[in-house]
Chains A and B, each alone.
Chain A
Amino acid sequence: MKIGVLALQGGFIEHIHILQSLQVDTFEIRKKADLSQEMDGLIIPGGESTVIGKLLKDLDMYDDLKEKIEQGLPVFGTCAGMILLAKQIEGKSNACFGAIDITVKRNAYGRQLGSFFTEAEFKGIGIIPMTFIRAPYIESTGPNVEILSVVDEHIVAAREKNVLVTSYHPELTSDNRVHRYFIQSVCHCGLDPQSQEQILI
């Protein structure tokens, strides 16, 4: 099993470290040629969605990735990754991949002073730590979208088929349960029995 991590800009190394803690093979995707490698899943990390979105197009990677996601490649987007996967972005006419039927509000909690940490439920996992950095949230979801986390009445994690998104950054904590969920329930891959569940206390 191998997971590709989009490494154009942002917090990609944190995802790679979590996947390594789960003994999952990973590779960085920085250019079109990197997309020729076989992968069982893709992670789009946090960062600036405007930067990552622009680089996807400038480096001629957008069409290939969009096709893979449409064909069912399991993909997990955190923060900026969620914005890039959403079908609609509030106040903007053009979405990026449009892979999950949600409307997202960017910088929904305001500037850096609005960034916060909390603990809340992720459906099926339990209470997990959640770090929100200039985060977006989901304003509305389509009929086939499963809502996975709600914080202060805002939807902050959701899934539709092969696409998983979170407003927060599980990769910034040492709790690897959301990544385990992605590998097992979205990618349908087995984890090494040796790999330990890490829970942040």
Chain B
Amino acid sequence: MSTERYELNKNLAQMLKGGVIMDVSTPEQARIAEEAGAAAVMALERIPADIRAAGGVSRMSDPKMIKGIQAAVSIPVMAKVRIGHFVEAQILEALEIDYIDESEVLSPADDKFHVDKTKFKIPFVCGAKNLGEALRRIEEGASMIRTKGEPGTGDVIQAVRHIRAMLSEIRRIQSLKEDELYYAAKEMQVPFDLLKYVHENGKLPVVNFAAGGVATPADAALMMQLGAEGVFVGSGIFKSGNPAKRAQAIVKAVTNYNDPKILAEISADLGEAMIGINESEIQLLMAERGI
């Protein structure tokens, strides 16, 4: 990937900021998401809550289903590949998807290597639960980062933990003396140049969204107030009682995350939220995949 292409890919993520990216599994859901104000949709056959319930190996979605969603909406369409599965990524590139999510939600295809994302023209977003993971993914060519959270649970605790970890590590790196950065880079197992960027700018060199467990407008606003630049909502919308209404409310919550009066208004009467599952009750921690 040329430097120019990488810049354009980072630029697309910049245009998604302040927005909500919604998981959808049918063209019909994609249209509901677009009408509700989604900034992009993530096409996947089974949303994380169902993957969790069904068990078994989960893989890239059927290209036919992805094409159906591409045809249904005018907003960007993203899709997931298994960690390290560069052939699934090649297939999504051939489909001209707008963004590839190399995602821990699917079963990892490689327990050591992530996809070498610098070999692709299509942009990648990757999950991270701390600054080290984020910078390693960026070095591999990711042009957008999201927290991992714990997908398909409706429990926001892990997303909170991850965004807090990332941002507090960024503050720590900012406060280091320049000659201490070499050791910090070694300790964190990250490239020095990227760490230096964080030291000088106090942020990641790419856009940083929150993901994993967001189920209510309040959850979305919480992630924004904690410092996320936008939000992915997976199971939280289409596992709820009134998806369209909840989706619209979450979109508004991300725009006016700092206005409790508006949040109070839009949080009312949304129907049942996804039931969810507490962190302590789950068997499979997806966030532990791909470090």
Known: A107-B74, A112-B122. A51 touches B11 (CB 8 A): no
Within 8 A of B (CB), among A99-116: 106-107, 110-113, 115-116
User: Residues of B contacting A131 with CB < 8 Å?
Assistant: 7-8, 11
A113 and B96 contacting across the interface, CB-CB below 8 Å:
yes
Least Cβ distance of A200 to chain B in Å? 12
User: Residues of B contacting A23 with CB < 8 Å?
Assistant: none
Interface residues on B, range: 35 or more
A10 at interface, CB cutoff 8 A: yes
Q: Total number of A-B contacts with CB less than 8 angstroms?
A: 107
With A and B bound together, what is the CA distance between A42 and B185 in angstroms? 43
Known: A47-B19, A112-B76, A115-B11. A54 touches B37 (CB 8 A): yes
Name which residue of chain B comes closest to A172, CB basis.
B11
User: Residues of B contacting A14 with CB < 8 Å?
Assistant: 14
Q: Which of B4, B17, B123 counts the most A-chain CB atoms under 10 A from its CB?
A: B17
Contact with B along A10-26 (1 / 0, CB 8 A): 11111000000000000
A48 at interface, CB cutoff 8 A: yes
Q: Which of B83-91, B107-115, B128-136, B250-258 contacts A (4 or more CB under 8 A)?
A: B250-258
A9 at interface, CB cutoff 8 A: yes
Known: A9-B39, A48-B39, A55-B251. A133 touches B12 (CB 8 A): yes
B155 at interface, CB cutoff 8 A: no
Least Cβ distance of A108 to chain B in Å? 12
A58 and B248 contacting across the interface, CB-CB below 8 Å:
yes
Within 8 A of A (CB), among B6-31: 7-9, 11-12, 14-19
Least Cβ distance of A91 to chain B in Å? 9
A155 at interface, CB cutoff 8 A: no
Name which residue of chain B comes closest to A46, CB basis.
B15
B15 and A10 contacting across the interface, CB-CB below 8 Å:
yes
A199 at interface, CB cutoff 8 A: no
B34 at interface, CB cutoff 8 A: yes
A48 and B19 contacting across the interface, CB-CB below 8 Å:
yes
User: Residues of A contacting B122 with CB < 8 Å?
Assistant: 112-113
With A and B bound together, what is the CA distance between A97 and B37 in angstroms? 18
With A and B bound together, what is the CA distance between A191 and B37 in angstroms? 37
A51 and B8 contacting across the interface, CB-CB below 8 Å:
no
With A and B bound together, what is the CA distance between A7 and B17 in angstroms? 10
B8 and A55 contacting across the interface, CB-CB below 8 Å:
no
B12 and A47 contacting across the interface, CB-CB below 8 Å:
no
B232 at interface, CB cutoff 8 A: no
Q: Which of B7, B8, B16 counts the most A-chain CB atoms under 10 A from its CB?
A: B8
A87 at interface, CB cutoff 8 A: no
A48 and B75 contacting across the interface, CB-CB below 8 Å:
yes
B19 and A9 contacting across the interface, CB-CB below 8 Å:
yes
B259 and A112 contacting across the interface, CB-CB below 8 Å:
no
Name which residue of chain A comes closest to B10, CB basis.
A172
B98 and A31 contacting across the interface, CB-CB below 8 Å:
no
B262 at interface, CB cutoff 8 A: yes
Contact with B along A51-89 (1 / 0, CB 8 A): 100110011000000000000000000011000000000
26 A-B residue pairs with Cβ-Cβ distance under 8 Å, sorted by A, are A9-B18, A9-B39, A10-B19, A11-B17, A14-B14, A30-B255, A30-B259, A31-B262, A46-B15, A47-B16, A48-B15, A48-B40, A50-B74, A51-B37, A51-B75, A54-B35, A80-B15, A112-B8, A112-B9, A112-B99, A112-B123, A115-B11, A131-B7, A133-B8, A133-B15, A134-B98
B residues contacting A by CB (< 8 A) are 4, 7-9, 11-12, 14-19, 34-40, 74-76, 96-99, 121-123, 248, 251-252, 254-256, 259, 262
Closest 4 pairs between A and B when the two form their complex, measured CB to CB: A9-B18, A112-B98, A115-B8, A54-B37
A residues contacting B by CB (< 8 A) are 7-14, 30-31, 46-48, 50-51, 54-55, 58-59, 79-80, 106-107, 110-113, 115-117, 131, 133-134, 169, 172
User: A79-B15, A113-B96 given. 17 additional CB < 8 A pairs?
Assistant: A9-B18, A10-B16, A10-B19, A14-B14, A31-B259, A46-B15, A48-B39, A50-B37, A51-B75, A58-B248, A80-B15, A112-B98, A131-B8, A133-B12, A134-B12, A134-B15, A172-B11
